[in-house]
Every structure is written in C-alpha cells, then in structure tokens.
Structure 1
Amino acid sequence: MDTNRLRYFCTIVQTENLRRASELLHISPPALSKAMKVFEEEVGIKVIEQVGRGIIITDQGKRFYEKAYKLLKQIDDLKNINNDITKEKMIRIGSFEVFTTYFIGPLFSKYFQDFHCELHELIPGKMEDALASNMIDIGITYIPIPHPKIDHLKVGKIKMGLFSAQDKFLNISFSKLPFVVPIIPVEGSPTKIKGLDGWPDTSLPRFQKYKVTLMESAMELCRQGLAVAYLPKFIVNLHNEKITSKFSLREIPLPQKRSKECQDQEVFIIKRKSSPEDTNIKQIAKALRMHCCQ
C-alpha cells in the first residue's frame, strides 16, 4: 500500500471535500480522484461515494480511517525519531581502565565536546560482544578477541614497562618480585594473554602476590612500595607529572632475554563490520597516536 495514497484518503475524510483536499495536498482534483480509485482497489473496499457534486465517506471508509490515521501518526513519529537521531551527536565508547581513566579526558575535550557521550567499562571479549549487540559504537583495546561481526583496526603501539616506588626492589631477582596483577582473567585471546595488563604469563611466569580489580589500586600498592606492576609508560608519565616526587614510580629493568616481548602492546580500535570507518574513528585514532602511542 502506498502511504501517499493513504495520506490522501485521510485528508479527504478530514475535509469531507475533494476539492479542498486537493488544494491541501497540492494536486489536481482529477489526479486525486484517480488516486482514490487505485487506493480502493488496494484495500478492497469502497471508501468514498460520489453524491451529486459532493462525496460521502462510507461506513467501511470511516472504520478504515480510524486505523489509517493511527498508522500515519506512527509513521510520522518514526520519521521524527530518525530526525532526532540524525541531529543529536552521540558516541558510545567501550574500553577498560587504561584508556577510560587516562585517555578519555583529552579525547573528549579535544574532539567530542559537542557530543553526548557514553563510556562503558568493558573487558576484552565483553567489549566485542557489546559492539556486536549495538550497546556501544567503538571500542579501544590492546587485547583483541576475534569475533565474526567485528573488525580490529590497528592504530599503533604503546610502550609497556615494569614499575614500582622509588628505591624499592633494587637488588631483587625477577622471580621474587611481588607483582600486583588484574584479578579479572581474559578469555579467547589468540596471543594466549591471560591478564588484562597484557603480561605474557605463559612464556614468562611471575610471582603474583596481589590481585586487584582496578589499575589505580595496583598503582597505590606500587606507591606504597609493596608491589611492582606492568603498566603502560604513558600512564606512569602522566601519573608522575601530577604527584609529588615522593610517590612517583620508577621503571624496573625487565629480564634481558625476555624484554622484547614485554615492551610493546599493539593498540586497536574495534568496530562493527557493518559500520563505516568514519570521522569519529579517525579522530580517536589520531588522539591515541598523540597521547598514548610512542
């Protein structure tokens, strides 16, 4: 059924005058009459009767109008919703603490000040699921989990390092260093990474003395000289800029034979395969390269 003819019919019912309806619809009376004949064939009922020079709406036509009017209103409401969505600038980003705490401020302030923003704390795997189910628009990660509906776009690399408080653990062997590690495991990584910090536990086991949910908790244990943590260098640099030197963190040398596999993490923007690589993605990639990737 053509919605234009449905709208013509409703206008005729409302005006009860063919000529007046044609004026409102900006079409000629003969064209409107022809459209109504096609409309009656489509719906299979007689909706208008010609009486002299005027018209009357049949009982069937009146009943049909009640439903047709509601349908047209729903169609108009849908169009308005679409217009609101188009006009409203909205972005929904999913990531974990590395990026949601220390990167999101510069990102939103420079590129998305006039947007409505949602920030979802999600671990790898859950992030891909949230994208696939349309809960978020874009994800940021350095532990990509394969998903049939998701693309992982490589942005660059962030430098990683081992950190603790000043003058702590200077002469302790690696096997005895008290690590603080993420308590939430990562599942499904093709690189066999087990923890959210990205440490290669399979090839380089470590002494996991503390397990925490938040990276900030791990950094506090480091500040107190109780633990060492595997952290992105850009985060530690920002941390050290904002606090007194007494609580700044210093880098501890990694085991020489294994240092290469622990130094870098590739960063990815993740999106739905059905979504274009749009301006928002390009701006996030630019911001990541500027603030996080070295």
Structure 2
Amino acid sequence: MDTKSLKLFISLCDSLHFGRASEACHISPSALTRTIKQLEESLGVQLFERDNRTVSLTKEGERFQEYAREALIQWDVVRNSLLEGAQELQGEISVYCSVTASYSFLYDILSEFRQLHPKIEIKLHTGDAENAIPRVLAGDEDITIAARPDSMPASLDFKHIASSPLVFIAPKLNSELDQLLAGPMNWAEIPMILSEEGVSRKRIDRWFKQHNVKPLIYAQVAGNEAIVSMVSLGFGVGVVPKIVLDNSPLSGRVRILPVEPQLKDYDVGLFALKKKLQSPLIDAFWSQIR
C-alpha cells in the first residue's frame, strides 16, 4: 500500500511551506507540488490556498488532514499486526521534548528502546516545553515528554516518569537584589522573570493570587533555560523546575530561595493521544516505561 502521498500531505500541513516540507521529506519542491496537485485532482477539491508568500489549509484540507492522520495510524496497526511474530516492528515514531528533557530522560529511554526495536526509526524534535502537549493534540508528534497540567484533555494519555520541585531562584551575587531578599519578601518590589505560559506560569500566578500580591514582572520568556540565564545575569528572581536548574551550565551562578509555601511539584511524563496507542510502534515505546 502506497502511503507516501498521505505522508507528504501531512508534512505540508505541519509546515505550511513547500520548501521546508520537501526538504524534510527529501524530495524536490516540484515533486511535492505534483503530489499535492494529484491528490486534489483525485479528490476533486482544493486542499491548500497558496500564493507567492503563504500556504494555508482550506476547510476541505482540514477535513482531509483528519482522515490522513487516522489512515496512517490504522495502516501502522494493520501492517504490524500482519507482521507480528514474523518480523521485528519497523516504521517511525516522532518524539518532541525540550532540550533539558532530551538529556534528562530521553537518553535512557531510547538506549533501551533501540536495543529492543532496532528497526523503529525515532524522529526527535526539540523546542519550548510549553509547545509539547499542543503538538501532540494537533497530531504533529506521536509522543512528547512534558509536565502534566492540572487539567488534561480527555483525548490524551499520560505515563509518569519523574517528579521535580518547582523552585524560586535568584542570582548568587547581586547586592541590590540581595537587599530586597534579605528580610520579609515584598514581592511587589522584586523583579520577576516568568514563563510566558504553561504549567509553571499558571502555578505561580495562582500562588501570587493566594497571597494577594501583584508581582513586579520584569520579563516574560519562552523556555525555562532562558529564565535560568536571565536570573544568573542578575535581572531578577525566576521560577523553574529544579531538574532544569540541575542540568543547567549556569546552575553555579544562581541559588534557590527558601520560599514557603512551596509550589506544587512538576509531574513529568510521556503524553500521547489515546487513539495513537493503537499503533504497535507507539505502544511499544509507551509500554517500556515501567
């Protein structure tokens, strides 16, 4: 069964850029254009709106995207069930996580997985941890490693890997900031460096609200690593998972503040769409986590 056209279509859906999609799929832009045109002709509808600058999905394209993703999942299920007992599992799995998660958890996971399933190809994408769950929900990734939110969509499954405290950090050397932190903390005067969004931002916002404090926000950044960097430079106080701090090359330039009450720990684990766990490949990856 030829699923190549569906995979090319999905790649273009993900990037909305013919150049990037063709590069990711190792074909020429003209070949990708021909494939999409053939799909549109066979379906009798236009899947993409495109001009010299932008590419976007039509309503018909969005509906076909749902079908294409589901069809590829079901094809993996059927193919591997037919091969079960005769050959090793083979195919590819896309995994997304932050850089910190990649060397904190992924190395050990993949080391074991590669020994058990050498013919399964892993496509690893790294980026901001706050994008992890949305990418899985959108179908852009099969599995991700991230912190469990306080409320989780019913379509997702979660498997715990580790816990990490969420800590307040300050620069080791900053005389001006040290004066603000010396006595009872007046949070309205302490410059804060916080995540733009995500689990940690929601928890610190709730923490400030419970203490009837309007914080002085110096900067809002994407990524916990950027918070550690800005705090180490003396710009203010930040809030990060301790596991990020432990793995940061700048950990020696910051200190953890003994703030009470403590914030709720990060519950770190794997996320995947429940329907994708029907795939023997994804289930194999999922099941090895004990």
Per the normalisation by structure 2, the TM-score is: 0.52
Is 1:178 the counterpart of 2:185? The answer is no
**1:118-157 matched pairs, under 5 angstroms:** 118-119=124-125, 121=127, 127-144=132-149, 145-157=151-163
Q: What is the letter of the counterpart of residue 182 of structure 2?
A: N
Aligned residue among 150, 164, 168 for 1:162:
168
Q: 1:88 to 1:211 in 2, by over 3 A?
A: same
Aligned residue among 189, 198, 210 for 1:203:
210
Q: What is the letter of the counterpart of residue 203 of structure 1?
A: Q
- 1:233 & 1:132 partners in 2: Cα distance? 27
Q: Kindly indicate whether the alpha-carbon contact (under 8 Å) linking 1:92 and 1:137 is maintained by their aligned counterparts in 2.
A: yes
- 1:148 & 1:263 partners in 2: Cα distance? 22
**Alpha-carbon distance, 1:99 to partner:** 2.5
**Alpha-carbon distance, 1:148 to partner:** 3.3
Q: Kindly indicate whether the alpha-carbon contact (under 8 Å) linking 2:225 and 2:244 is maintained by their aligned counterparts in 1.
A: no
Aligned-partner SS, 1:195: helix
Q: Aligned residues, how many? A: 190
2:31 — aligned with what?
A: none
Is 1:272 the counterpart of 2:281? The answer is no
**1:169-248 matched pairs, under 5 angstroms:** 169=178, 170-171=181-182, 173-175=185-187, 176-183=189-196, 185-186=197-198, 195=201, 198-201=203-206, 202-204=209-211, 205=213, 206-239=215-248, 242=249, 247-248=252-253
- 2:103 & 2:161 partners in 1: Cα distance? 19
Q: What is the letter of the counterpart of residue 149 of structure 1?
A: S
Aligned residue among 88, 101, 124 for 1:99:
101
Q: Kindly indicate whether the alpha-carbon contact (under 8 Å) linking 1:166 and 1:249 is maintained by their aligned counterparts in 2.
A: yes
- 1:248 & 1:91 partners in 2: Cα distance? 38
Q: What is the letter of the counterpart of residue 91 of structure 1?
A: I
1:90 — aligned with what?
A: 92
Q: Kindly indicate whether the alpha-carbon contact (under 8 Å) linking 2:165 and 2:242 is maintained by their aligned counterparts in 1.
A: yes
Percent identity, please.
14
- 2:222 & 2:162 partners in 1: Cα distance? 26
Q: 1:167 to 1:106 in 2, by over 3 A?
A: farther
Aligned-partner SS, 2:182: coil
Q: 1:146 to 1:164 in 2, by over 3 A?
A: same
- 2:200 & 2:266 partners in 1: Cα distance? 14
Q: Kindly indicate whether the alpha-carbon contact (under 8 Å) linking 1:177 and 1:207 is maintained by their aligned counterparts in 2.
A: yes
Q: Kindly indicate whether the alpha-carbon contact (under 8 Å) linking 2:172 and 2:253 is maintained by their aligned counterparts in 1.
A: yes
For residues 33-58 of structure 1, what are the alpha-carbon distances to aligned partners after superposition, in whole Å with 9 as ceiling and x for unaligned? xxxxxxxxxxxxxxxxxxxxxxxxxx
Q: Kindly indicate whether the alpha-carbon contact (under 8 Å) linking 2:99 and 2:126 is maintained by their aligned counterparts in 1.
A: no
- 1:155 & 1:103 partners in 2: Cα distance? 8
For residues 196-255 of structure 1, what are the alpha-carbon distances to aligned partners after superposition, in whole Å with 9 as ceiling and x for unaligned? 7x424343543211111233322221111221111121221222xx45x8x53211111x
Q: 1:108 to 1:222 in 2, by over 3 A?
A: farther
For residues 125-157 of structure 1, what are the alpha-carbon distances to aligned partners after superposition, in whole Å with 9 as ceiling and x for unaligned? x64454345321112222435323222334442
For residues 63-121 of structure 1, what are the alpha-carbon distances to aligned partners after superposition, in whole Å with 9 as ceiling and x for unaligned? xxxxxxxxxxxxxxx99x9589x754522223446525754455445645853323254
1:4 — aligned with what?
A: none
Q: Kindly indicate whether the alpha-carbon contact (under 8 Å) linking 2:166 and 2:200 is maintained by their aligned counterparts in 1.
A: no
Q: 1:107 to 1:228 in 2, by over 3 A?
A: farther
| Higher gyration radius (CA) | 1
Aligned-partner SS, 1:199: helix
Q: Kindly indicate whether the alpha-carbon contact (under 8 Å) linking 2:143 and 2:271 is maintained by their aligned counterparts in 1.
A: yes
- 2:91 & 2:186 partners in 1: Cα distance? 49
**1:22-101 matched pairs, under 5 angstroms:** 82=79, 88-96=90-98, 99-100=101-102
Q: Kindly indicate whether the alpha-carbon contact (under 8 Å) linking 2:133 and 2:146 is maintained by their aligned counterparts in 1.
A: no
Aligned-partner SS, 2:152: coil
- 2:99 & 2:195 partners in 1: Cα distance? 11
Q: Kindly indicate whether the alpha-carbon contact (under 8 Å) linking 2:158 and 2:272 is maintained by their aligned counterparts in 1.
A: yes
Alignment root-mean-square deviation, CA: 3.8
